Structure 1
Amino acid sequence: MKMQESGENYLETILVLKREKGAVRSIDIAQRMNFTKPSISRAMSLLRENGYITMDESMFIELTDAGMEIAQRIYERHTLLTQFLERLGVSPETAAHDACKIEHDLSDESFEKIKEHARSGQIPDGG
């Protein structure tokens, strides 16, 4: 089952917030993503029902193994694509914005080739 882009974004945000703050609640996600608390509450309910997150009695959110796998995959794509675009001369803000759009639709094959190229230190010349 392919997860929708919005679900991937939520999982990635949970991962980033967990790394930054150590603990994550719905309100943290709402503030980071600039969404309403009811929207986040609904999304967290769906993610929980589908086995991507758990919530404890204090409403702290944890990624399950399945959720962590998706979050790490999207985060790696976002980070690498942002860095790659910046190396091409794109401004950091635009690079991060564009990477967020690209990360969900890029094939595994294309991402692996971009990753290989980025790690080689070479920047494509477009021609």
Structure 2
Amino acid sequence: MTRSEQMKSIYRTFEDYLEAILIIKERQGYVRSTDVASQLGVSQPSVSYSVKRLMKRGFLTRDQNNMLILTDEGSEIARRTYDRHKQLEKIFISIGVDPETAREDACNVEHDLSEKTFQLLCRHFS
């Protein structure tokens, strides 16, 4: 794997974590590391490692009860990723993709699709 591919993979992982934290927060009002592990289907040590990296980069903090809190920057990335996901899922369903496949494909495509192509798709399917 090239350095560029590694960086893209790391950023994609960050986006997945931030998006999961946003979704969990909206669903239950608080986010624990165990909630993230469950949402993403990863181990607790994987979450601990990623949370430390996200905190170091300023995307995430913890409150006095050890709950995960998105920073403004982390929240912006999470919201953008989640909005792209929802819009792509809707587009895929509108062209006949079954909901489960649409959800999985949206999760994959949301990270790699250029902003220009994303905007054109949204305009075309609006």
TM-score by structure 1 length? 0.90
Partner of residue 80, structure 1: 87
Residue identity in the other structure for 1:116: R
What displacement does 1:116 show?
1.2
Q: Which runs of 5+ in 1 are unaligned?
A: 120-127
Deviation at 1:4, TM superposition (A): 1.1
Q: Deviations over 1:4-23 (max 9, x none)?
A: 10100000000000000000
Which position in structure 2 is the counterpart of 1:123? none
Quote the sequence identity (%): 42
More helix as a share of residues: 2
Pairs within 5 Å for 1:1-127: 4-119=11-126
Work out the CA distance in 1 between the residues paired with 2:26 and 2:19.
11
Measure the CA separation in 1 of the matches of 2:59 and 2:125: 30
Report the Cα distance in structure 2 between the residues aligned to 1:83 and 1:11, rounded to whole angstroms.
21
Q: Which has the larger radius of gyration?
A: 1
Q: CA RMSD in A?
A: 1.3
Structure 1 runs of 4+ off > 2 angstroms? none
Question: Aligned residue for 1:125?
Answer: none
Residue 59 of structure 1: CA displacement?
A: 1.0
State the Cα deviation string for residues 66-110 of structure 1 (Å, max 9, x = none). Answer: 101100110011000001000000000000101111000000100
User: Across the two proteins, how many residue pairs are aligned to each other?
Assistant: 119
